[in-house]
Structure 1
Amino acid sequence: MCRINKNVILALLTLTSSAFLLFQLYYYKHCLSPKLILFFLIRHHCRFVFSDGWFQIAENVGFQCLKTESKDPQLDGIDSLSGTEIPLHYVCKLATHAIHLVFFHERSGNYLWHGHLRLQGHMDRKFVPFRKLQFGCYPGAFDRPELQQVTVDGLDVLIPKDPGHFLEEIPHSRFIECRYKEARAFLYHYLEDNTVDAMAFWKRAKELLQLAAKTLQELGVPFWLSSGTCLGCYRQCSIIPYSKDVDLGIFIQDYKPDIILAFQNAGLPLKHKFGKVEDSLELSFQGKDDVKLDIFFFYEETDHMWNGGTQAKTGKRFKYLFPKFTLCWTEFVDMKVHVPCETVDYIEANYGKTWTIPVKTWDWKSSPPNVQPNGVWPISEWDEVIQLY
């Protein structure tokens, strides 16, 4: 059986003794079941790892190492800071074994972030089989884990107290960075609204989003930023000050009957309920100071997704079509939240190709390019599908 010298691993672990470590052994040449030694390092716990001294010691015990660093994406566009390099991935190999160090950086939204393993032109693409690495194909975001110390083969390491949750996060961890540089350019061109009213709305909308996220997370209901909230996130990395509401999307298969009660118990009374679970469901809750929370439920067809709309006075129904999408994490108003991974396609479906230009007059029944008539609710069903409070 292929084995790596434990003393070699111990020498490297000694340098990262305060780090968060979770590892498997990767035989990238001779063994049939390739696995990887993964070290997940919370940055502020392991300063020495960043220095060339770590590489010197690694090389002294026989390793060849490759490191990838990059500018901090959150500082993109800030000239005085954008040159700052942060460590992203270190890959070291010894004979037929490889060690992959993935640097997790703490972020203000109380989560951990790791960057993309992007090879530069001068780097050896045959150094290890990069395509088989479990981390680095794209940036990732994870809940901040509570750690515990364990002993594995005589080595003291820190691992998450709930390793199962961490492992479950891995296939769904893909992260999309806010377009900070473009957002700054947008706000410079169109002048950021810093009036008292705009700042007050921003604060209320942020609090409402935090409360909605907490409520849905307690229910185990996944959601994403939708409509104007998604547009604000992608276009200007913030809440659109004239939008007057917070918009979320939920797949209809994730609907739970106790959603309404949970929001009411959280202090958000139901404002209206349109449609029904089988067709065009939409919920709206009243937040503080007339800021409302709209939840749109999405239905999947063979080649597209859609959510419904209902006009209360006439019973007319509308359908909003979207190309199929998956969900990724992003950071928005100091929160880790989901947005469609195919963000541009999603936004263009809802707002057209001119979405970069602010529009303050908007008719939900006719302005969206993806809206189409969907008949009229039978009057006999109005008591069920049109409920106003």
Structure 2
Amino acid sequence: MELRGDDPRLASLDTLSGNQIPLHFLLRLHGHIIQVVFLYERSGNYLWHGALRLKPGMERRFASFKRLDYGRHAGAYDRPELVLTVSTALMFEFLETFPVFLSEQKHARFPGVPTPRRSELPAALSRRLLSGGRGVSEESEVAASSGGADVSSPQHPLLAEQRHLPGLVRQCSVISYSRDVDIGIFIADFRPDIIAAFRTAGLSLKHKFGKVEDSLELSFLSEDVKLDVFFFYEDGDIARSGRKFKYVFPGFSLCWAELLDLKVRVPCETLDYLSANYGPMWSVPLRSWDWKTSPSNVQENGAWPVAEWAELIQVY
């Protein structure tokens, strides 16, 4: 059985969309099923496979689909190292680090985000996207890619956050007029060497607010772009982050998406997350934004004692 689907690499191109590519082969012999999963190279130098979805008319009893290891969701993986092996006159390439690949599989879900074609965007938004901002996008890409280097891993994931998530969903890119890049980290994934890791990646520390136990926030500079690192704290069924203000979100899990040719983490419940932060009109771009009054989910979160300011409010 052959299962095909749209090529996501062409999804944003009006003239080339709709091309079908093979996603899965299912081979059956004597009651046994062999699943062949096609891995495609994406522009962010990672591998992607599509979801396994039966089309009308396909034999639904061909296999026990719920028991298949791949295909419940689309997935994304770092490019693995392969070792060429010859066995019984056949040539195979095996994964050099198979346990690493298996650990990635647990966190590989890649639903992506809606990919609007330029012709489907509101006219005013299309004009904004086409008018300037390219330099800012390129600088943001540098900051985002540097921020992910040596910091993110399946055990310590980063997620595209705040200002750039609506840009990713609306136009599959960063917000062209913003010079800030936001990423988020669950506080449980905090590493003591995180500042050193960002510095090694070429970013300089601009300020540090709060402490690991409460309202930690870090900001770094890469040329003219500021990289803000927010931390999410578990609080029952909500997550919060902030600068003695807190931003309350419904609980969420992490998936993969692509932003500026980078494989980035995003909330799987993307629209719920955006609605919580920006309200029901999140799809309308806003040039004016104040971090302590504009978000729909901002709440006051107390104040630091004056005696602790030197430790908890550090500007470089």
**TM-score for both structures, normalised by structure 2:** 0.93
Residues 286-310 of structure 1: CA deviation (Å, up to 9, x unaligned): 2202x1000001101111111012x
Following TM superposition, by how much is the alpha carbon of 1:75 offset from its aligned partner in structure 2, in angstroms? Answer: 2.2
Q: Is the CA contact (8 Å cut-off) linking 1:184 and 1:236 kept in structure 2?
A: no
Structure with the bigger percentage of helix: 1
Match of 2:36 in 1: 101
Which residue of structure 2 aligns with residue 296 of structure 1? 230
Letter in 2 for 1:303: D
Letter in 2 for 1:387: Q
Q: CA contact under 8 A between 2:183 and 2:228: conserved in structure 1? A: yes
Cα contact 2:12–2:118 (8 A) shared by 1: no
What displacement does 1:189 show?
4.2
1:174 equivalent in alignment to 2:101 = no
On the 8 A contact 2:181/2:226 being kept in 1, the answer is yes
Give the unaligned 5+ runs of structure 2.
none
C-alpha distance in structure 2 between counterparts of 1:172 and 1:218, whole Å: 10
Aligned equivalent of 2:129, options 166, 190, 193: 193
Aligned partner of 1:307 in structure 2 is 241
CA distance in 1, matches of 2:140, 2:288: 20
Deviation at 1:125, TM superposition (A): 1.0
Report the more deviating stretch, 152-161 or 140-149: 152-161
Q: Distance in 1 between matches of 2:183 and 2:22?
A: 34
Bigger mean CA offset, 181-190 vs 107-116:
181-190
TM-score by length of 1: 0.77
Please say if 1:339 is aligned against 2:274: no
CA distance in 2, matches of 1:183, 1:362: 25
Q: In the aligned structure 2, how far is the partner of 1:184 from the partner of 1:116?
A: 27
2:256 alignment partner in structure 1: 329
SS of the residue corresponding to residue 227 of structure 1 reads coil
Cα deviation digits, residues 147-169 of structure 1 (max 9, x gap)? 11235688542111111111111
323 and 123 in structure 1: CA distance in 2 versus 1, 3 angstrom threshold? same
Greater shift, 166-175 or 142-151, is seen at 142-151
Per-residue CA deviations over 1:219-250 (Å, capped at 9, x if unaligned) read: 97321100011221122110101221000000
Which runs of 5 or more structure 1 residues have no equivalent in the other structure? 1-65, 310-316
Matched, 1:124 2:53: no
Asked whether the 8 Å contact 1:229–1:239 carries over to 2, the reply is yes
AA of the residue aligned to 1:322: F
Q: Say if 1:183 and 1:232 are closer, same or farther in 2 by CA, change over 3 A.
A: farther
RMSD after superposition: 2.0
Q: Confirm or deny that 1:366 pairs with 2:293.
A: yes
Matched residue SS, 2:129: coil
- 1:296-326 C-alpha deviation (Å, 9 max, x unpaired): 01101111111012xxxxxxx2110111111
Task: Indicate whether 1:211 and 2:138 are aligned.
Answer: no
Are 1:88 and 1:102, in contact at CA under 8 Å, matched by a contact in 2?
yes
C-alpha distance in 2 between matches for 1:296 and 1:173: 23
How far residue 195 of structure 1 moved from its aligned partner, in angstroms, is 4.2
- The change in CA–CA distance for 1:208 and 1:77 in structure 2 (over 3 A counts) is closer
Instruction: Note if contact 1:182-1:235 (Cα within 8 Å) is conserved in structure 2.
Output: no
The correspondence for 1:226, drawn from 158, 161, 165, is: 161
CA distance in 1, matches of 2:154, 2:276: 30
In 2, Cα distance between equivalents of 1:71 and 1:219 = 27
1:287 aligns with 2:222: yes
Does 1 or 2 have the higher relative contact order (CA < 8 Å, sep 6+)? Answer: 2
Deviation per CA, 1:329-372: give whole Å up to 9, x if none.
11110111111111111111111111110111111111101101
Q: 1:335 to 1:296 in 2, by over 3 A?
A: same
Change (3 A) 1:237 1:252: same
Q: Retained in 2: the 8 A contact 1:183–1:235?
A: no
User: Is structure 2 residue 165 aligned with structure 1 residue 238?
Assistant: no
1:71-123 CA distance string (max 9 Å, x none): 21332363421231100111121121111111111111111110011101111
Please give the secondary structure, in 1, of the residue aligned with 2:181. Answer: strand
The residue type equivalent to 2:268 in the other structure is: C
SS at match of 1:209: helix
Larger Rg: 1
Residue matched to 1:378: 305
CA drift at 1:70:
1.5
Distance, in Å, in 1 between the alignment partners of 2:232 and 2:258 is 22
Q: 2:282 aligns with which of 355, 363, 380?
A: 355
Code of the residue aligned with 2:250 in structure 1: it is P
SS at match of 1:375: coil
Separation in structure 1 between the aligned mates of residue 191 and residue 34 of structure 2, nearest angstrom:
44
SS at match of 2:73: coil
* Partner deviation per Cα, 1:187-242 (whole Å, 9 max, x = no partner): 6441243445x111111111111111114148973211000112211221101012
The number of equivalent residue pairs is: 315
